[in-house]
A and B are shown apart, each in its own frame.
Chain A
Amino acid sequence: GAVVSQHPSRVICKSGTSVKIECRSLDFQATTMFWYRQFPKQSLMLMATSNEGSKATYEQGVEKDKFLINHASLTLSTLTVTSAHPEDSSFYICSARDAGRATGELFFGEGSRLTVL
């Protein structure tokens, strides 16, 4: 149980276009999901906390108009990178907490590698 599916796993786009990444909890309800960005051989940088039915909470320095987050249901959160530029190329990972568990572990998607040409 506790599987998180993230799509697409890889995406290549042209500069100026927008890209949407989906994060789904397949067998549990996730009231809270988290979006991270990871540079090669580095740690995860938390971008924002996505709360079902409300606005996302962005970390300092993360542009909310650039990285649009929507958490419309208890099983789906999306991250849209708007007007992507080569510097947005990165590995994006989502994670979720199981609302039905008292423990605090996170369940991660497999990540999405974005390459902006």
Chain B
Amino acid sequence: SQQGEEDPQALSIQEGENATMNCSYKTSINNLQWYRQNSGRGLVHLILIRSNEREKHSGRLRVTLDTSKKSSSLLITASRAADTASYFCATDRAGANSKLTFGKGITLSVRP
């Protein structure tokens, strides 16, 4: 079964607005990570939140984690056209040497 599932699948917003993307997962995790992928490129790590953390910030990014609901959200504030990309959540169940399981991704379009 899909470990990480994001919603919505696609999001279109106006530049300057905030973008909120959600991720749900099924099993217990060690940490959850968000990645960004520009079309036809590799993935870039954005932020990692550990299972004992509830909220984390990095620049215009804010991620939350609710382990009781097995869900996470990624908020991008004051979006820019350059934020247009696909965003994936990935769960790590067993720590540093384990594989990540990626969700299906959210396509974010920021209109200038």
Binding site for B on A (CB under 8 A): 4, 6, 32, 34, 41-44, 46, 49, 91, 93, 95, 97, 102-111, 113
Contacts and interface: CB of A to CB of B under 8 A. Distances in A.
Interface residues of B, number: 26
Contacts of B30: 104
Given A32-B97, A111-B42, A103 B48 contact: yes
A109 B42 contact: yes
Among A32, A42, A44: residue with most chain B CB under 10 A: A44
Contacts of A110: 41-42
B43 A105 contact: no
Given A44-B102, A97-B96, A104 B33 contact: yes
B8 to A, nearest CB: 14
A46 B96 CA distance: 17
Contacts of B101: 46
